[in-house]
Homo-oligomer: A and B are copies of this chain.
Amino acid sequence: MQAPVVHDEKTCQVREILDRVGDKWSLAVVNELGNGTLRFTELKRAIGGVSQRMLTATLRNLERDGLVLRTVHPVIPPRVDYELSDLGRTFLQTAWSLMNWANDHAADIIAARARYDT
């Protein structure tokens, strides 16, 4: 007799991954790094509206998940480069199609909300 499996293990993993890499700032970071290597401050400015705290946390997670490579140059002042890993680049196409979808249908969605709120 087996203890009941409440929900599929793999499915749960996939959901957790989607929640991480699919979040607002992760997508923004991957998008920016899709154009090439950037430093912390360049990323922050390029994305816009992200706090230092959130950008740091997002980059740490992406690095931990193997999507982003972090290179520290031992100079003063410090210089840290961020770039997509091979794994990160496999995500680019998907990320872009997601962002394109949102961009293409933003007006529809805003309109749908206005209708619903009436």
Q: Which residues of B contact A28 (CB under 8 A)?
A: 15
Q: Which residues of A contact B (CB under 8 A)?
A: 6-8, 10-19, 21-24, 27-28, 48-49, 63-66, 87, 90-91, 93-94, 97-99, 101-103, 105-106, 108-113, 115-117
Q: Which residues of B contact A8 (CB under 8 A)?
A: 48
A65 to B105 CA separation, bound complex (whole angstroms): 10
Instruction: Contact check, B106 vs A17: say whether CB atoms are below 8 A apart.
Output: yes
A98 to B16 CA separation, bound complex (whole angstroms): 13
Given contacts A7-B48, A13-B106, A87-B105, contact A116 B18 (CB under 8 A): no
13 CB < 8 A contacts A-B: A11-B48, A13-B106, A14-B103, A15-B28, A19-B23, A87-B105, A87-B108, A87-B109, A91-B101, A91-B105, A94-B101, A97-B97, A98-B98
For A99, give its contact among B14, B115, B116 (CB under 8 Å). B14
For residue A23, give the distance in angstroms from its CB to the closest CB of chain B. 7
Instruction: Contact check, A116 vs B48: say whether CB atoms are below 8 A apart.
Output: no
Instruction: Contact check, A21 vs B87: say whether CB atoms are below 8 A apart.
Output: no
A116 to B59 CA separation, bound complex (whole angstroms): 13
